[in-house]
Chain A
Amino acid sequence: MGWNGLPILTLITWAPFVGAVLIMFTARHHPLAVRLIGAVTTGISLVLSVAVYLAYDTEAAGFQFYEKIPLVPALGISYEVAVDGIGLILVLLTAIIIFSGVFASWTVQTRSQEFYALLLVLVTGVFGVFVSLDLFVFFLFYELAVLPMYLLIGIWGSSAQVRPRGIFGWAMRETGVGSKEYAAMKLTLYLLLGSAFILVGILALYMAAGGSSFSFLELEGAAFDPVLQRWVFLLFYVGFGVLAGIWPLHTWSPDGHASAPTAVSMLHAGVLMKLGAYGIVRLGMGLLPEGTHDWVWLVGTIATINIVYGALSAMAQTDLKYVIAYSSVSHMGIVLLGAATLTEAGLNGSVFQMFAHGIMTGLFFALVGLVYEKAHSREIFKMGGFGRMMPGIATAFTLGGLSSLGLPATSGFVAEFLTFLGAWRSAHSWWLFPAVAGTFLTAVYVLRVVKQIFWGEIPAHGEFHDLPDARGPEWVALGLLMFVIVLFGMVPWIAVYPIDTATVPLLIRLGIRP
């Protein structure tokens, strides 16, 4: 059980939930207490995640810190948690993002106790997904991670300006494009649609395997019919792919991320999108080797579309939050491309990119939130010369941008480079070229934004005067995220060793490695 008898994964998962309960019942009308509870409970998760990360035995590999409590023995449902090399790094990612998210939203004013409570509940769901081995519980956690989003965006979100135009202009007017309610509804409906696909897929596998267990470890042993595999993989790909932002099902993400409040964008783009990619790798590829072989051409090809199309769309945006949101669409392409290569380098790159992109985009959304809070504008081309007033934010933004464009010594480079290697060794070596082109497009739009916002003269219209730099608690978030970007960029082996212990067995299962 757990780690030397300590149910450590359970503690990591449920500590934020306990925090949420405490906030609702003890800290009403005490804003500081709310934040402290949030910081302490997510801090516990973070410290324990680091402990798990350090204690994970890469020699032994496989699932570790195993815990199991039967829930409904008749249906084979149990609370069964453990992490392998992939889950390990994603748990760490989640802990880092939520801990910095708590600090980045320190200044939320309206209904802060409900805000923090929902945020912490959501995070329990995310942790739960990454550690669950039982697919039923996995699905429960998955829904727990998706639903609070509706309230978080609908209540604490912000609206954007989108002009209804084009041949579908009437439809856009009718749905209220741009408002936060629209964004919240779109995101929730999309993700629920995706989870319907996933549920069908999980049930199909459960029934096909004899209907006795939802455990991943037992389903892994079952040999599914190739035709079933083909269809269920597609279900998983579409279902999880919605959350991972695959083209053309990605349009919830720019609107959702742009409307969401800072910590929610951080968590959503940073971690929840990874949850989709994780689902495809863990359930799709882990359980359905033949289905995987049938569909990787599609997964990889769409991923290259994501990379190039997302980058070009990001370049066309004038709203800062939309730029970052579209950059996520582009970078999630790298994640799925790496996975689709079915090579050791590519899969390692894919998982590494889940982590790297999570940290990078978390940093970005934290910074965009700060800039917006101080300048009350998201219009890139109205801003200018902010570097002089907020050098700290400018530095952090530049670092995030450099990681985004894959500059060496940041974690983004390692992920992209591994993916490139994998793409060239895959069955579709042409995937390499759109992927590399994507890095150039990223360099164009990221540096353009940095130059426009932080460099040059402060605009003469006098709207932006004496904007303050980041302060106290905000620096906790920025500092932590920047440190992680550079650390994993310079010494990537600390992540690649554990990841490799999980991807090589996956390749063996897929029949690529003997």
Chain B
Amino acid sequence: MNAGTLALAALGLPFCSFVLLAVALPLRRAGRAAGALSIAAIGGSLLASLVLWRTLPGESVELTWTWLPAEGGPMATVGILVDHLTASMLVLVALVSFLVQLYSLGYLEHETPPALGRYYAYHSLFAFSMLGLVLASNFLQMFIFWELVGLCSYLLIGFWYTKPEAARAAVKAFWVTKAGDLGFIIGIVLLWGQAGTFQFSRLFQMAGDRTLPTAGLALIMFLIYLGAVGKSAQFPLHVWLPDAMEGPTPVSALIHAATMVAAGVYLVSRVYPLFLLTPDVLALIGWVGAFTALLAATLGLVQADIKRVLAYSTVSQLGFMMAALGAGASDAGFFHLLTHGLFKALLFLGAGAVIHAVGTNDIWQMGRLARAMPQTMIVFLVGTLALAGIWPFAGFFSKDAVLAGVWEGGLAIPFLMLALSVFLTAFYMFRVVFVVFFGPRHAEGHAHDAPPVMAAPLWILAVLTVGWGIGLATRGGGEKAHGPEWVPWLATALAVAGIGFAWLTYQKRVVTPETLARAFAPVYTAAVGKFWLDDLYGGLYRSTLLGFSRLVGWVDRYLVDGLVNLASAWTLRWGDGLRRIQTGRAQDYLYGIAFGLLLVIVWGYWR
């Protein structure tokens, strides 16, 4: 099979599964059967993606069909574009989707069959949308699938829709990402106005031979980047991601850690040749990314909910990727996307196993789980070490590449922010590890390791995280790092310092968390208050948007429509008044006739 067919197969299988689950009601209501179908479909996609990845031809493969026809050639097409970027992303998406769907069979075993069927229908739709996003060959198609993954995110955050917090979080996620997408779609329209095409290959060609008009291009690329800001939870639109943790944990692992939130990073990597034309926008991306990384890391320090710690660490790591892209190290950013996808999915699924066992998200109600859940402890530790960037885990190499890239790109202050984030990352992750697995015991009942259907995905991800890292280590530290010699040493030193500090604070209690909170009082207060961004947006929404809408509604009802009613009421009154002329008495009419006659005579006389 050639590359195009394989890609289409990978894309088509989840779509067929979704359509079947959406239309065939008995199948969907059967619950586990629906799950089996969805898992089989994504398994097929994974297989196709792997084959495609192994047999990738040298140059990119592109297939297109007309989507919006117009006089003299299509206005917009749909199609697929396969190159090495697409292929590795395809494998990541299909692999994590497959493992998460498998894991969900165990995690959601207590759901009713119709709810489970709905869950897998959404998952199939998500897999289709995400693969479609990855394969997109033009901006319009990218946007289409971009919005569809947003829809799936909305539906899956709100999976437990009777929970008010889940309902609120789902809507919030949709609105905040939609706000970024306004920029995205305006950017696409403006770019079309500039270049007359949505096609990536045509645009790259134009960028290559300098026929793309550069006037206003910076604005356009900035607007397109806004879409990525929303989806990849960059400051100041990161506020939806922590709340999105209201969804089931496997959903957080798949959509809100490994794949969908990385779509923004993927978008920037995908159209990197265009961003290269606008160095100012790239620099902005780098700064915002580094700032996001640091901000989210400080937020991660003060969370008590294990999923929220992981959520903020996702925001932070997305900042790392964006910083690398902004500094010109697009390979490093994308590399970090791939490794992060694996180990963050691992961490979330591990956290899911813990939550499944103890029935709470609060780390202070867990403790000493290392003995009760040794397997979970091991895999979680693997993920944590990878996230902290310890040699020889995969995260070490990608994080090193990012740091080196940012340093080489000349962004000194963002580099410092990222370095500080490395320290904080290790600190807050090991805070979780010590409190949950080694700290004093708080949990009631008997926690135990996850059943095989959940354990298997955990072990696969853990083995991949370690194996990939060791593979890179044996091949000489990975050819991707080009930076100065001292960068990996610095990164490792910072990470180890973070781990040690967490050990002193949360295990040995040499420093108490309260002392730290007092020492860093301003930062601590700000982090607890989430830097007041949620309050700001909430206030803007309630006072400005809803207030303004009430004003417009009032104006419409009582002024615009009031005028209409005024005309009507006047007509009625005049009619009422004129009616009185019709008295019904003959003498009144005679007076009228006489008066009229008089007028006529007088008029005739004067004329």
Contact = CB atoms under 8 A, between A and B. Distances in A.
A451 to B, nearest CB: 5
Nearest to A185: B568
Interface stretch (B65-73, B449-457, B515-523): B65-73
A227 B140 CA distance: 43
B164 A457 contact: yes
A391 B120 CA distance: 16
Contacts of A166: 554, 557-559, 562
Contacts of B161: 387, 454-456
A251 interface: yes
Contact of A313 (B164, B179, B553): B553
Nearest to A316: B553
A171 B571 CA distance: 11
A439 B162 CA distance: 27
Interface in A236-289: 248, 251, 255
A312 B549 contact: yes
Contacts of B190: 424
A492 B67 contact: yes
Interface string A467-481: 000000000000000
A168 B559 contact: yes
B9 interface: no
Interface string A436-449: 11011001110110
Contacts of B559: 166-168
Contacts of B192: 421, 424
A493 B68 contact: yes
A381 interface: no
Interface stretch (A113-121, A143-151, A496-504): A496-504
Interface stretch (B142-150, B317-325, B435-443, B531-539): B142-150
Contact of B569 (A175, A309, A345): A175
A216 interface: no
Given A171-B568, A316-B550, A424 B193 contact: yes
Nearest to A450: B171
A309 B171 contact: no
Nearest to A497: B69
B572 interface: yes
A62 interface: no
B189 A420 contact: yes
B599 interface: no
Nearest to B160: A455
Contact of B185 (A313, A420, A455, A500): A420
Contacts of A316: 546, 549-550, 552-554
Interface in A147-199: 162, 165-172, 174-175, 177, 186
A317 B554 CA distance: 10
Contacts of A432: 186, 189
Nearest to A408: B144
B66 A493 contact: yes
Nearest to B563: A168
Q: Which of B545, B549, B561, B568 has the most CB of A within 10 A?
A: B561
Query: What is the size category of the interface that chain B forms with chain A?
Result: 35 or more
A496 B560 contact: no
Contact of A168 (B69, B145, B167, B558): B558
Contact of A500 (B69, B140, B147, B193): B69
Nearest to B174: A447
Interface string A279-311: 000000000000000000000000000000100
Contact of A436 (B174, B182, B572): B182
A165 B140 CA distance: 48
A108 B158 CA distance: 35
B24 interface: no
B548 interface: yes
B148 A451 contact: no
Interface stretch (A38-46, A66-74, A94-102, A409-417): A409-417
B368 interface: no
B257 to A, nearest CB: 24
Given A436-B182, A492-B67, A447 B572 contact: no
Contacts, number: 160
Contacts of A248: 560
B568 A175 contact: yes
B468 interface: no
A345 B75 contact: yes
Nearest to B559: A166
Contacts of A493: 66-69
Contacts of A402: 151
A418 B560 CA distance: 31
B556 A309 contact: yes
Contact of A186 (B167, B168, B564, B570): B564
B192 to A, nearest CB: 6
B562 A451 contact: no
Interface string B115-151: 0000000000000000000000000100111011001
Contacts of B573: 174
A168 B554 CA distance: 12
Contacts of A408: 143-145, 147-148
B490 interface: no
A8 to B, nearest CB: 26
Given A420-B189, A440-B182, A456-B161, A309 B564 contact: no
A360 interface: no
A487 to B, nearest CB: 12
B64 interface: no
B171 A451 contact: yes
A421 B189 contact: yes
B565 interface: yes
A344 interface: yes
A24 interface: no
Contacts of B36: none
B565 A168 contact: yes
A433 interface: yes
Nearest to B568: A175
A417 to B, nearest CB: 7
B566 interface: yes
Given A424-B193, A436-B185, A443-B178, A407 B569 contact: no
Contacts of A385: 162
A509 interface: no
Given A248-B560, A316-B550, A433-B186, 19 more contacts: A162-B557, A168-B558, A172-B558, A174-B572, A255-B561, A313-B549, A313-B552, A315-B549, A344-B71, A391-B114, A407-B151, A409-B148, A421-B189, A432-B186, A440-B178, A443-B178, A454-B161, A455-B170, A493-B66
Interface of B: 66-71, 75, 114, 140, 143-145, 147-148, 151, 158, 161-162, 164, 167-168, 170-171, 174-175, 178-179, 182, 185-186, 189-190, 192-193, 545-546, 548-550, 552-554, 556-566, 568-570, 572-573
20 contacts: A162-B557, A167-B562, A168-B562, A170-B569, A172-B565, A186-B568, A312-B549, A315-B549, A316-B550, A348-B68, A408-B145, A414-B68, A421-B189, A425-B193, A436-B185, A443-B175, A447-B174, A448-B171, A496-B68, A504-B71
Nearest 4 CB-CB pairs, A to B? A316-B553, A168-B562, A166-B558, A408-B144
